[in-house]
Amino acid sequence: MNIIQNPVLTGFHPDPSILRVGNDYYIATSTFEWFPGVRIHHSRDLKNWRFAASPLTRKSQLDMKGNMNSGGVWAPCLSYHDSMFYLIYTDVKEWHGAYKDAHNYLVTAENIEGPWSEPVYLNSSGFDPSLFHDDDGRKWLVNMIWDHRKKTHPFAGIVLQEYSAKEQKLVGVVKNIYKGTDIKLTEGPHLYKKDDWYYLVVAEGGTQYEHAATLARSKTIDGPYETDPDYPFITSDGKPELGLQKAGHGSFVETQKGEWYFAHLCSRPLNGQYCTLGRETAIQKVVWTEDGWLRMEDGRNSPLDTATAPELPEHPFEPEPEKDDFDGSDLHHAWNSLRIPTDPSWCSLEERPGYLRLKGMESLSSLHSQSLIARRQTAFECEFETKLDYDPEYYQHMAGLVIYYDTKDHVYLHVTYDEKHGKALQIIRTKSGEYDELLDEPIPIKPKGSLYFRGVINHEKAELYYKEDADEDWMSIGPELDVRHMSDDSASKTLTSDESEPEVRFTGTFVGMATQDLSGMRKPADFDYFIYKEKP
């Protein structure tokens, strides 16, 4: 039997919005503080996927400098109408505490690869906006609405308002159409229409292990909506035996053959608890019941590691190359920067052809201007390697190999300058915001020439290596590392400063290259290549 192996998008790819245009399928996922904003993948068979586009490539579309960890782009919605792609997204500036400063925008493009337009501002009443194109030509925006007041539940329901494409703004009355269920934390709405019913799917229960998705329907778009009596539609809550946990937030698509599928968020925990790869995307086949509700294909409400593939020809894609020699004029789509777009002032493939030149900026704790280029960790067992040319002059000069979750949790094998040892190696680990140096003394190395750095991650453990010449054997450096602190779940174990609620996070582990010049002079570091391999 032809099957879909889940997750279909491994590593940090949450909040999927799935869309079919003709014979092509697209999934848009959240990117949070990582730039460029929103990742779109393409498929012809719902089984094999490849990267298609990153629509938000310009500061004018997405200005995240200073955004807090796990802020930025939340839960995009991708839709298509009258030969035009529509992408709705949120830029979250502040989400801790009572308030959620979340601004919602719309960009459009005639082709999925772009160019994508300048943004149209929509509203800031809440997050997870979604655009629905009704068959009468009218367009409607839904989003969850946030209520900061102390005596109310902050997830105050799903609001509906009409969008005028001609005026490029929201018009008319704002109406709260659905308050959710007793699962609470109602968010992530998407609207559909079938057989004269409007269907609303929402995420509930938060995005951790209690996560779920719920269906509701109405004969009119503005409600009232009745909840599916067998809610939730999908959840992993209370099912620790499942390989896919945190199942919830998602969206539906109908194939050319009339089959229906649900793309949803999920995670795969290490030791039943820590999801270092972040929240991923899975796909499940769903069927309609006689009384007009959607159900998972097996009649249950649990996510499956394997799902029945659609009746479509298989369409595999060439695998991504493991090695990037930095020989092109543009960075490969796997690479991401933090909060800011790449530009020649700090990131260049041309100043030294065949090398990625990064010019040192702020520290790994900065929310503003980091010189860091990284890619998602997409497998529990992987290895990665780079070659570096760098001549530090002060201890404030650093460059090397980084395993990065956010400003509070990362590991950094780097070369720097030490007054006692000269050019030397050190490992920095920041865990829950606490800075540490893992080598009692920096390791002195030759004053000139290239360095080679390597990392190996095996589930919750990581080991680091280096060598000074290409034909040498790799030398282990530092202790074996536990990388479980680089997960959403590690933060939830630590109370926030007011000790009233557990902190949560929403991204995943990245690996890559970084450099800092804390003197402000932007000293360059040159990386000759980067290799990333998943272990079979």
Which positions are catalytic?
Answer: 15, 187
Rounded to the nearest 5°, which phi and psi values hold at 490? -70, -35
Strand partners for 234? 213
- Rounded CA separation 276/283 (Å): 21
Burial of 446 from C-beta contacts in 10 A (0-12 / 13-18 / 19+): exposed
How are beta strands 280-288 and 3-5 bridged, if at all?
A: unpaired
- Rounded CA separation 116/107 (Å): 6
- Rounded CA separation 418/189 (Å): 54
Q: How many residues are given for the chain?
A: 536
User: What are the structure tokens assigned to 321, written together?
Assistant: 């190359």
In the Cβ-directed half-sphere of 139, how many Cα atoms lie within 13 Å? Answer: 20
**Maximum alpha-carbon separation in the chain:** 77
- Rounded CA separation 430/434 (Å): 5
- Rounded CA separation 501/15 (Å): 23
C-beta of residue 295 within 8 angstroms of C-beta of residue 284: no
- Range 334-350 burial, b when 16+ CB lie within 10 A, else e: bbbbbbbbbeeebbbbe
Beta carbons within 8 Å of 42's beta carbon, 6+ residues apart: 24, 25, 26, 49, 50, 51, 52, 112
C-beta of residue 358 within 8 angstroms of C-beta of residue 347: yes
* Chain mean position to CA 353: 31
Nearest alpha-carbon partner for 375 in 511, 534, 513: 511
User: What are the structure tokens assigned to 36, written together?
Assistant: 């460029």
Beta carbons within 8 Å of 180's beta carbon, 6+ residues apart: 155, 157, 158, 186, 202, 204, 214
- Range 304-323 burial, b when 16+ CB lie within 10 A, else e: beebbbbebeebeeeeeeee
